[in-house]
Structure 1
């Protein structure tokens, strides 16, 4: 500030941190004189009141001003005002006073809430703020989000990120909150610093430990609540009534609000002052609150009697049939005590809303409170917990189950609650205990709900597989067989067939496994009506993957994903995406599998499903490793962290990924050791199914070692499975493995390689075919048949290049050179190196479109466009959009030349 000053206006919503930033500036304004003031509503009608308080510390410096300015300024500061024609002179006098005060040391002038004080002070400070270029003076002003000062730079204070919100909470609590608690509070606080502080200060110890339900809004008596009440109190009474109706009417339907306003004796136009104050935006399509927190604080700040009256008005104008649930919820909000009839109505309305699970859960919680019989209340709480989990809210579901456990001793209800608790453990907690919980729940409900017991056993089987305790699947299979009946409904038969098929597969009885699993796949394709659920489709897809009908498994998983999205069943969406990603891996669609896993990871993290998130991270690590993308693979492994238990699926996937990276770098012994440790064959411990998937890599690593019993044993397991399927890809991989373990240069090795190439499907699995061609080329070259090797190495090199697998393309190039052929880098037109979607994106970039424009034209998210563009750059070996334009210009030139 020694050469010149400046000014900045900070504006934002109440609680956005404006005052805190000024306090920070005061604290660190070293070697500066600080003048600090604040606009006070109580003095808003007193001209120059704010200026008088601001300048009082340097009033003695008025002696440095010329006599006319000194006289005029003293009159204004003494409360005698300023004639309208002398306001310019007064503003110049204030500027001169600040310049005099800054002669020895720089000056920091701050005025908080500029818009809340008197207008005359605001006008003078705006004048001064525009004329600081040659003075060592800095002016910091703060105001509401709607305020501006012409000619002064402004900075809008936006909401904090989730990470920063969690940091604010952690700083205010006695110990760091549980992760789900912090995430929920961060959303409730809306990124508003004061809201987060108020929430943290109001939490009970049970709430911040995650043992009690969390508040849905910041406390009305907190600092933010008081700020909003003061802001609302400045509005006319009719405006406040209309704001409250708009805040409570979450349907945001203009007709509903208009009818409620008419019933209340007000008009929608009464919202004009609230719109001018920046609280809402009134449009033909409805009333929009500029921040979600504003809606919550308007409702929370209103007296209870007014809220209940507004709820009753809204209930009266809602249609009893078309808006049944919202009407019942408004009636419930206006009711004190118990009301059995209203509780029944809430329950009937809630179960009729199949997609808004969160709202239905809230309604059922309220119905439980209104119930006059404990058994009814318990049933409603249980359904509310299940709906909360379906909506992807595991914390709320878990807390409702805890509340149910404390109030209900009914064994039947407890069994159903344990089934839900076991599923939560499987997806969100330490999955090692989930199997026991689910097995116990299955035993409890078996006598009253056999279909639910079978479903519990299927979940228990999934839990033992996830944890790496496959030896326990025998018990799951035995108990499911006891529950099976000849004429079970299709969904029940499907689930029983899956369990029976997986149990037979894990004990190596593929003759029995195959028919059972194929039956599950067939039944999955026939589901309809109430039996058509994402859960049932996911079971059928899982069966398809185990029996290696990849196309059918992919269709079923895709259908499960679509249905889960359509119905809002977020708890199942991540699992369905996991199955789709595995199917895409086997179909050779690695890029699609990675995109699916990224989608699944986002869903899992948003819904608190830690175990599902780690599976997706493991799959992403494997997919990156298979493409020899070391950096991405290791980054995904680091994201998994140390949480997964050794032997669990995420742990095994991470080990598989590391082993593939070892293999790509020529560390064959390390790769073989890692892959052999994924499961302990014959004991049922470890990840048997993951090791089966990884067996081709284990054999490839072991082929370079003299001692390889683990690979031989794993291949025997893989062979028995592959031979029991109708999958050409699995049989091709089996033949390739046998070729690698055959003596080098032998007729057996060549015969098995040629069998593998004959079996590789042409419509899928091009990456694996290219890997077989590379390995066959290596075998032929090392057997001193370089001429024969070149054909396969060329084919492998071209496929890897087209797929963007640059590391494997480099290996093929190195093998070609070793085979006596002089080859340079791949010289393919850009269009041949890209997938169809990548090519379209690249063409649009070359035409000058931005990522946002491309996303709009192709109906994609900008995140997806960014991802594809990074892959385009990687495949073409370029680093910028300019180079991309040049590459496509070259392609067009080459194309024209060839046409001529």
Structure 2
């Protein structure tokens, strides 16, 4: 069974780690080790140019890590395309403990390493499994993981290790990376930036490296050129003769420092025997440092067993339990200083001695580098390697294999097909520019019409993912129209993507593009299935009709689609693809039965499938559904979990739910600041800004600032093409405009509202409509409408809306002089607002009650307010019965970190056990 790397323990040959100066860096390493030994997880990035001493600092750390278990890995440039190779190298000595992990995590890591078959694992699940494994191993002894040359790790390993490094909290685990430049995968981690040596230390090192006299002017020049780089100080003098060192003056050299160091190594290589140089080339081309493979390849090339001796004597290469180059620049010099033909011969020899069963991917990679021209057999091997990489979740590796396969393919039809497959893999790996380049290669070949449609489809997906929102809808529309003749199901899915892209783009989309998409959808042939209509078909047709004809015509189809998704009969794939949209549609058509059921089912499906990167989007819908029910603790938990996952996955979460929660809670300062910042960042005409304006309307209505509420609600409801916020903000606009005395504005908003509520006919819709109509009515008509609103909303779970109807009815009764009746309504509203946590609305009800002659005290805050968002979420999950490992799996934390946070929770709440959480945490509606 294939593995991305042989099981091995990477270690350098023993060498002195005596360092000159570096007091600050050594102190930071000592503090790092102290924290790890004390049980506090730490991560640090050691960054600096080649030769500046990063590896020496890591060696110093390793020799100082007494009492700690060590794990080491090093990136190798030629191994960058092998998915999870670096991670396997680091964890090789720990894989025997995989059985101790939770099943999904164990399966994900085994699949990633090629140790078992299974669906491609989500990379964040692989990251969580790695975190759990490191935490388990560290239970015995503190664990220090050292990763050198991180810039050459394969992308999958780099992403996982960066993920793990950010999640170390209460585990006795430390991870140190050495890298040449800052990378996205390690962004935000603490850094040690290594600069050149101070002048005095540089002079001492330079003098100690020479046995003969050194002219002062030459020394000054060398020190200036080296800029304190220790390796440069050791290597640059080797390019000068003893006479030049003693009395000459070296000419200036304009080459960059790393290139000059590598050139110095090349000159030293040139002095070696030819057989030694050929052996060095083989060692440089073999990425895993396996001496057996190197010697077997050397034997195939006819190289003698003593060929390594001159390189060892020169201090360039050591071959023992591992093949070790003095520095990566020696490896690159040994590889680049030879001819193309020589490199091909070395790779061919390595391919011949690499086990095709144990290491088929590495063998295919060597064969690719050995090929002197197009080679179909090697291209086919690379395709198979790409398939294996996909199965392990290594999309970047799959893209690299396929890209190389394209170069080795001569047949124009097959070349175009492989280029299209490589572009798809590059897109999935997030390499958008590479994907576009491969699409150009594919188009230059011989594609049929269906494949050209797939090219357009991929261009549309790339445009949307890359943030080119103005381009994406048109590209997806063109692709969908072409796909109609070949794959109607795929065409429908593409139209749905195009619709979502156009709505999401808002004002950035081309004029009329949304209508064009909807008109194209409505000309599609009917579903050929003779059975029940497919939910995708119903959903798509409903959304197209919504834009083309309005609410009245579209609501039946949208309600049907929502109820089809709420039934629980949908497949995992359907829920993963469209569950979030179905849940949002359910809310848009006032479907109280489906709004929470679909969201809960989709969240459950996403979690069980391991598609964790999708969770933030559906958690936003779940949070919205929870707000509608008045379950603020659940909404806050959805926000905290979404933020946690987004931080772990690097995805972006728009603060839709957080804005509305703060507004409904009446946290004026906090909500106002977030609203202003969101609008400024998103732009006035964006959907995100519309959501912020709706939150502002909620906040101002709660505080009784009706003119400001009306202005904000107008902004929120101004985009009539946007089917969600523009509808949800209308009841707030009616209430605020009536209270502000702008009856014409309120009447217009009400008429727009009834276009959505009448077709729906649910108690939610008609309850909101009755309240809004009552606000515009007088006398017995208004009285009857208020009572109808309360009666209808009482049959739903929409407690905030029920309380708001009771509030406005109580206000109307007080103004009508019916103080006793008013008190009943206002008291019920006040109690419900306080139970929910809608403080501004509760204060508004309290003021009205005071106007009737009744006095109420103010609500006391609970101690749970002291908890951070993450602590509150962990506490709620523990209260609900989840174990520490289960909570950790939910939040991308180790079980030990969960235990650490729970201890803080217990201290803050003044309790001693999980059993007491029920007594101190608010439940739904409390």
* CA 1:423–1:714: 2 relative to 1, 3 Å: farther
User: 738, 755, 768: which one pairs with 2:801?
Assistant: 768
1:663 matched residue in structure 2: 701
State the distance in 1 between where 2:449 and 2:641 align.
39
How far the C-alpha of 1:497 sits from its partner, in A, is: 1.7
1:557 paired to 2:602: yes
Rg comparison, structure with higher value: 1
State the distance in 1 between where 2:196 and 2:294 align.
45
2:462 matched residue in structure 1: 424
How far the C-alpha of 1:351 sits from its partner, in A, is: 4.3
Q: How does 1:829-840 map to 2 (within 5 A)?
A: 830=863
* CA 1:748–1:425: 2 relative to 1, 3 Å: farther
1:722 paired to 2:776: no
Question: 1:247·1:295 contact (CA, 8 Å) conserved in 2?
Answer: no
- Deviates further, 502-511 or 555-564: 555-564
User: 677, 688, 693: which one pairs with 1:650?
Assistant: 688
User: 44, 49, 58: which one pairs with 1:15?
Assistant: 49
How far the C-alpha of 1:550 sits from its partner, in A, is: 0.6
User: 475, 492, 498: which one pairs with 1:460?
Assistant: 498
2:853 matched residue in structure 1: 820
| DSSP-derived class of the 1:675 partner | helix
1:496 paired to 2:537: yes
User: 30, 40, 43: which one pairs with 2:208?
Assistant: 43
State the distance in 2 between where 1:607 and 1:400 align.
27
State the distance in 2 between where 1:883 and 1:815 align.
40
State the distance in 1 between where 2:516 and 2:284 align.
58
2:368 matched residue in structure 1: 332
1:779 matched residue in structure 2: 812
State the distance in 2 between where 1:591 and 1:442 align.
42
Question: 2:623·2:635 contact (CA, 8 Å) conserved in 1?
Answer: yes
How far the C-alpha of 1:554 sits from its partner, in A, is: 0.7
1:477 matched residue in structure 2: 518
1:381 matched residue in structure 2: 419
Q: How does 1:252-401 map to 2 (within 5 A)?
A: 303=335, 328-329=364-365, 331-351=367-387, 353-354=390-391, 355-401=393-439
* CA 1:460–1:885: 2 relative to 1, 3 Å: closer
Q: How does 1:781-796 map to 2 (within 5 A)?
A: 781-796=814-829
| DSSP-derived class of the 2:24 partner | strand
State the distance in 2 between where 1:633 and 1:347 align.
53
| DSSP-derived class of the 1:10 partner | helix
Question: 1:350·1:360 contact (CA, 8 Å) conserved in 2?
Answer: yes
1:690 paired to 2:728: no
Question: 2:636·2:869 contact (CA, 8 Å) conserved in 1?
Answer: no
2:740 matched residue in structure 1: 705
How far the C-alpha of 1:692 sits from its partner, in A, is: 0.6
State the distance in 2 between where 1:719 and 1:411 align.
46
Question: 1:425·1:431 contact (CA, 8 Å) conserved in 2?
Answer: yes
State the distance in 2 between where 1:797 and 1:225 align.
77
* CA 1:523–1:752: 2 relative to 1, 3 Å: closer
Q: Unmatched 5+ residue regions in structure 1?
A: 1-5, 27-33, 56-109, 119-200, 203-218, 250-256, 846-852, 873-879
| DSSP-derived class of the 1:658 partner | helix
C-alpha RMSD of matched pairs (Å): 6.1
How far the C-alpha of 1:666 sits from its partner, in A, is: 3.6
Give a deviation string over 1:605-627, Cα, whole Å, max 9, x none: 99898xxx4x7234543443333
State the distance in 2 between where 1:821 and 1:230 align.
95
How far the C-alpha of 1:784 sits from its partner, in A, is: 3.9
| DSSP-derived class of the 2:501 partner | helix
* CA 1:673–1:646: 2 relative to 1, 3 Å: same
State the distance in 2 between where 1:668 and 1:263 align.
83
State the distance in 1 between where 2:625 and 2:358 align.
41
Normalised TM-score (structure 1): 0.60
State the distance in 1 between where 2:672 and 2:807 align.
25
State the distance in 1 between where 2:324 and 2:843 align.
57
How far the C-alpha of 1:704 sits from its partner, in A, is: 0.6
| DSSP-derived class of the 1:739 partner | helix
Question: 2:477·2:494 contact (CA, 8 Å) conserved in 1?
Answer: yes
| DSSP-derived class of the 1:616 partner | coil
Question: 1:229·1:301 contact (CA, 8 Å) conserved in 2?
Answer: yes
Question: 1:393·1:608 contact (CA, 8 Å) conserved in 2?
Answer: no
- Deviates further, 818-827 or 636-645: 636-645
Q: Unmatched 5+ residue regions in structure 2?
A: 1-20, 27-45, 54-191, 221-225, 235-253, 271-275, 300-307, 879-883, 921-926
- Deviates further, 802-811 or 39-48: 39-48
| DSSP-derived class of the 2:471 partner | helix
Question: 1:842·1:869 contact (CA, 8 Å) conserved in 2?
Answer: no
2:560 matched residue in structure 1: 518
User: 577, 586, 601: which one pairs with 1:535?
Assistant: 577
Normalised TM-score (structure 2): 0.58
How far the C-alpha of 1:637 sits from its partner, in A, is: 4.6
State the distance in 2 between where 1:675 and 1:550 align.
23
State the distance in 2 between where 1:868 and 1:704 align.
51
Give a deviation string over 1:224-265, Cα, whole Å, max 9, x none: 9789999999xx99999999689559xxxxxxx698578569
How far the C-alpha of 1:52 sits from its partner, in A, is: 15
